[in-house]
Structure 1
Amino acid sequence: MPPRPESFGWKGNEMVKVDRDIMVLANPEIAGLPNWVIALVVAGGLAAALSTAAGLLLAIASSISHDLLKGVFMTDISEKNELMAGRIAMAGAIALAGYFGLHPPDFAAGTVAIAFGLAASSIFPALMMGIFNKKMNRSGAIWGMVSGIGVTMLYVFQHKGIMFIPGTSFLGDMGPSWFLGISPNAFGAVGALVNFAVAIAVSKVTAAPPEHIQHLVEDIRVPKGAAAASAH
């Protein structure tokens, strides 16, 4: 009688964990596709990742160096210093992305969901109200964005750890999806509602935008010279 598998230390299943990201990458091999097809799939995925990363890095660098420093905090900054600030911002973004790579908040799809949730809780309401609410002012937009992304990040960090470090949280263990059963990946919708509410409330108690800004918003919604809609 041959020896039983347990005598060799076999536990009954050699696959302890199924990583979903690895399964996606291994699908071409599992399907038995030729090597050149697998190479094309890998090359396409790598090219898409690099192009997206490059575009986002340029957007981050220009937003910090031009929009914030040049436009708000240091209006007299020289072009040389503005370029240096953009490079520093790009290096900081790379370091932060590397940190999140070492402490990923979730698998690939979950990470993308969190990213879109943060965008929905911060940028989306400001864009919508900037087009459809001519009374929205600077203070309302800023405080709405800070409130929306703050609430979303608080909920995400409460579930996944501060800065996505497991075992850390602000309020201790409160159970999974404790707020109305909403998962942290989908909490961006709640953050967007908070953003809308805070922005509208702050804009009502602060000074309204200048008249030319309100006319600009109306021109965006209804271009100058456009005739009224008519039935056919």
Structure 2
Amino acid sequence: TAGLPHVIIRFYTVPKVRDARISVGWALVFIALLYTAAPAVAVFARTNLLNTVTDQPYAEMPEWFTKWETTGLISYEDHNGDGLIQYVGPEAVDAAGAPVQNELTIDRDIMVLANPEIARLPNWVVGLVAAGGLAAALSTAAGLLLVLSAAISHDLLKRNWRPDISERGELLAARLSAGFAVLVAGYLGVNPPGFVAEVVAFAFGLAASSFFPVIILGIFSKRLNREGAIAGMLCGITLTAAYIVYFKFVNPGANVAENWWFGISPEGIGALGMAVNFAVATVVSRFTPAPPPEAQRLVERIRLPRGAGEAHEISG
């Protein structure tokens, strides 16, 4: 979470380092509550679903079942013709030991939205969940688009490739990069590489293997320099992205535990990429020139919670 770009830019919303630390502290509390409660909510939702549909007559399914069935995200096929929904695993057997075929297919992405309806909660709760999901998606997308457009138009284009670019040209580059990102995101939304939890895991892994080590080393190590940061990020994100692309797109048939490195799935490879990033950044920084004195003084000021003072731009 600390390495996600749309989270990092929130530090600019407070005037002092102390305020930023307090804000991050509270954010970590709520994030911890969210991730701690998520597995429990998932178990409750699955249990509620099983109790609602398993061995129940299809003709007596509640209204929420019919509504979601029209979207194609829930499908029922009566294989044995008894009119009852058999929602079982791949190795299920009946009392006589004969295999039982699953008759219900549920898209995992609908569980968050369908769970309030399954639990027969009031309509305003269903609307609140939908509104919360939409607000989270829009705020995240807005933050990511802002970071992406600023990084391309200002950090890459103006500061490195075309220092003489006008403000109009910089704004045009920002809009074009944001538009391209929207198109890519739209395509991946229509053709997702996995269900929501998988995609989130990929995003966290890519952020952990690229930004997070540099952020930590930039705060707690005055020896980290530009060469080390770039080398670490390139190695970490290349390893993570290549691992994900290979198992999810190039050779999905090989995406089994026997073929994973050290038993790490593509969803968790970001941890290994993060370790590689830390190691490469540290080693490269030791064998290349130290950062300029003003950068080291900036690191010292970041550690003090009394205030950030005026902003300073580091040349080079």
1:133 aligns with 2:221: yes
1:184 aligns with 2:266: yes
1:104 aligns with 2:192: yes
**Partner residue of 1:37?**
125
CA offset at residue 97 of structure 1?
Answer: 0.7
Report the residue type matching 1:61 in the other structure. Answer: S
Q: Name the CA distance, whole Å, in 2 between partners of 1:131 and 1:202.
A: 17
Q: Deviations over 1:15-67 (max 9, x none)?
A: 44222112222112212233343223222322222222122211211121112
Change (3 A) 1:206 1:106: same
Secondary structure of 1:17's aligned partner: strand
Q: Name the CA distance, whole Å, in 2 between partners of 1:182 and 1:141.
A: 25
CA offset at residue 151 of structure 1?
Answer: 0.4
Residue from 182, 191, 202 that aligns with 2:284? 202
Counting only pairs closer than 5 Å after superposition, residues 42-121 of structure 1 correspond to structure 2 as 42-121=130-209
**Partner residue of 2:296?**
214
Q: Name the CA distance, whole Å, in 2 between partners of 1:30 and 1:120.
A: 35
Over the residues paired in the alignment, what is the CA RMSD in angstroms? 2.4
Residue from 11, 29, 42 that aligns with 2:79? 11
CA offset at residue 200 of structure 1?
Answer: 1.4
Change (3 A) 1:35 1:223: closer
Give the gaps of 5 or more residues in structure 2: 1-76, 81-85, 87-101, 307-316
Q: Name the CA distance, whole Å, in 2 between partners of 1:199 and 1:156.
A: 22
Secondary structure of 1:180's aligned partner: helix
CA contact (8 A) 2:113 2:126 kept: no
Q: Name the CA distance, whole Å, in 2 between partners of 1:40 and 1:219.
A: 43
Q: Deviations over 1:203-226 (max 9, x none)?
A: 1222211122222222323579xx
Give the gaps of 5 or more residues in structure 1: 1-8, 162-167, 225-232
**Partner residue of 2:5?**
none
Q: Name the CA distance, whole Å, in 1 between partners of 2:125 and 2:295.
A: 54
Percentage of identical aligned residues: 56
Change (3 A) 1:113 1:173: closer
Q: Name the CA distance, whole Å, in 2 between partners of 1:157 and 1:29.
A: 36
Q: Name the CA distance, whole Å, in 1 between partners of 2:263 and 2:225.
A: 34
Matched positions, count: 210
Report the residue type matching 2:272 in the other structure. Answer: V
Q: Name the CA distance, whole Å, in 1 between partners of 2:136 and 2:295.
A: 39
**Partner residue of 1:164?**
none
Q: Name the CA distance, whole Å, in 2 between partners of 1:215 and 1:24.
A: 47
TM-score, reference length from structure 1: 0.82
**Partner residue of 1:21?**
109
Q: Deviations over 1:118-143 (max 9, x none)?
A: 10100001111111111111011001
